[in-house]
Structure 1
Amino acid sequence: MAKILITGGTGLVGSRLTELLTKNKHEVRILSRTPEGKNEFKWDISNNYIDEKALTDIEYVIHLAGAGIADKRWTDARKKVIIDSRVDTANLIFKKIKAQKITLKGFISSSGSNYYGAKTTDKIYKETDNAGDDYLGEVCQKWEQAAHQFEKLNIPVTILRTGVVLSKKGGALDQMKTPIVAPLGSGKQYMAWIHIDDLCGLYIKAIEEDFTGVYNAVSPEFHTSKTFSKTLAKAIKRPFLAINVPGFLLKLIFGELAIILLEGSRLSSEKIAEKGFNFQHKELKEALNNL
């Protein structure tokens, strides 16, 4: 049994992960701005505060905290919030862990599949490829740099570059369940995706096995916006419209944020497979039927 501290533990992934970790007999603690449950502890980034009881005898930290990339239009202020909510939180934990000389067995951090940039290419990106030179590439680079600083304390670091998380309640899938399902933009852009239980399985693997380093946390089955939409429409028994939603309309509605809907490349999951991870839901059709 491991003692695990989770940031962002009440969010979409954190809630399911807490449930599965607890089922595996691990002790889970959650950092929250407004703690309510017995396993929740207060933290306040603006005042550099973390309840010391949250850190007592802690063995692992799972860092999921961060403002939603697609929650609001990208103003300059919002862009800063997106980066700071990931980096400043990791920095605060680092300071506390270092000051209290806590010997963690691992620091496990989320990152984004857009690490390589929001662009549509023929390339299949591997973990050794360079970061993109756009805003999302910058977000992920700074996010990961904040995680890598724990290596200075000889703490093993695991980073999961996560695609679109598919879950029963909330998240991207809820937004996709429109009365009529249609591809976005050209329809040729790829959508890196993963079932929430497979993603949680990767975090659990990082706790229970030797699973350090950087990994693309995506399903091995590739889909474009067009093939994804077709599969989704069939799964939820709704009409599929072959006429794509125009890119200019999405840009009008979402502004710069629309790029995450209109661009996307394939990511390789070979490194995960080489580490012996078996996906429960590697095919989109089965994953959607499960959900």
Structure 2
Amino acid sequence: MSNKVLITGATGLIGSELVKQCHREGISVNYFTTSKEKIENSENYNGFYWNPQTKEIDEKAFHGVSAIINLAGSSISKRWTKKYKKVIIDSRVESMKLLYETLQKIDHNIEHFISASGINIYPNSKTRLYTEEDLEIDNTFLAEVVVAWEAEAVKFKDLGMEVSKVRTGIVLAKDEGALPQIAKPIKLGVGAPLGSGEQWQSWIHIKDIIGIYMFILKNQLEGKFNAVAPNPVQNKKMTKLIASQLESPLWLPNISAFVLKLLLGEMSVLVLEGQLVSSHKIEQLGYQFKFYNLENALQDLL
């Protein structure tokens, strides 16, 4: 197993937890940052500068590394103006192109490229259970992002690496990501299901998304993997369970799709559409979830 990994996006929600887990398991971490002020250097955690826009990259980051975990990408939960859509795609694609072009030129011992991806590639459906074998692609901007992201990841096979794509669901964590955003109006007594409330939410606890990355890394697994908990829920059930955990009553009617589209624009697909996604493949390979059910996950996080 790898004793040194390179992580892009190491300071984000998943990246920062992944760094901690690597250190717990005796794995050193190199990471890239676009801010020279954020470069830290210690025995098992070393930062290196890069700028995918200007194609600047510190090649020393690859020394002694046997696997790359690629998490770089701008947030999708900012309003999708035409300009910001370009930022979302470029932040994922240009960073991977820079990695690929650099690795083509230098000597290295990297055998495994693990890249973040998203379940948003699957079409919105209330009845269809999606597995990694499904090839249908949604017609949304997010699906377009995932297709571009995965197409760049696949190229690393040409460099002789095993490639893994981690199709991530809604990551639930205590202080960051989706959960605090969903919980905030409920705490204020103005929570309500969104749209019909029947759209599926394929969620995953932060500890399990980290667990899946480590499992793929340790077992050198390649291919596509859905990183979602075994029991997705519909939006109305998620809203009720969060309200119950917070002991905050829900009394408002559902927030209409029309209002959400007015407020969020095209980004409303994030809350109005959903996919029912299977975790069967990673479980069959031996990954054991710490949080199977949303009730237990919310007890842990709220």
Distance in structure 2 (CA, Å) of the matches to 1:87 and 1:110: 12
TM superposition shift of 1:217: 0.4
**1:37 paired residue number:** 40
2:61 paired with 1:54: yes
Amino acid corresponding to residue 121 of structure 1 in structure 2: K
**1:160 paired residue number:** 166
2:276 aligned to 266, 269, 272, which one? 266
Any unmatched runs of 5+ in structure 2?
A: none
List per-residue Cα deviations over 1:173-230 (Å, max 9, x = no partner): 1101122331100000001100011000111112211321101100110200000111
Distance in structure 2 (CA, Å) of the matches to 1:112 and 1:188: 21
Moved more, 127-136 or 208-217: 127-136
**1:212 paired residue number:** 222
2:194 paired with 1:195: no
2:88 aligned to 82, 86, 102, which one? 82
TM superposition shift of 1:237: 2.1
Secondary structure of the structure 2 residue equivalent to 1:109: strand
2:181 paired with 1:175: yes
Any unmatched runs of 5+ in structure 1?
A: none
TM superposition shift of 1:50: 1.4
**1:120 paired residue number:** 125
TM superposition shift of 1:114: 0.4
Amino acid corresponding to residue 161 of structure 2 in structure 1: I
**1:23 paired residue number:** 24
Amino acid corresponding to residue 265 of structure 2 in structure 1: G
Give identity over the alignment, percent.
38
Distance in structure 2 (CA, Å) of the matches to 1:241 and 1:129: 39
Amino acid corresponding to residue 196 of structure 1 in structure 2: I
TM superposition shift of 1:85: 0.6
List per-residue Cα deviations over 1:48-68 (Å, max 9, x = no partner): 111122111211111101011
Distance in structure 1 (CA, Å) of the matches to 2:14 and 2:99: 20
Amino acid corresponding to residue 63 of structure 1 in structure 2: N
Q: Indicate if the aligned counterparts of 2:202 and 2:275 stay in contact, CA closer than 8 A.
A: yes
List per-residue Cα deviations over 1:123-154 (Å, max 9, x = no partner): 00111112223221111011001100000111
Distance in structure 2 (CA, Å) of the matches to 1:236 and 1:14: 28
* CA shift in 2, pair 1:139/1:57, >3 Å: same
C-alpha RMSD over aligned residues: 1.2
**1:185 paired residue number:** 195
**TM-score under structure 1 length normalisation:** 0.96
Q: Indicate if the aligned counterparts of 1:103 and 1:155 stay in contact, CA closer than 8 A.
A: no
Moved more, 138-147 or 44-53: 44-53
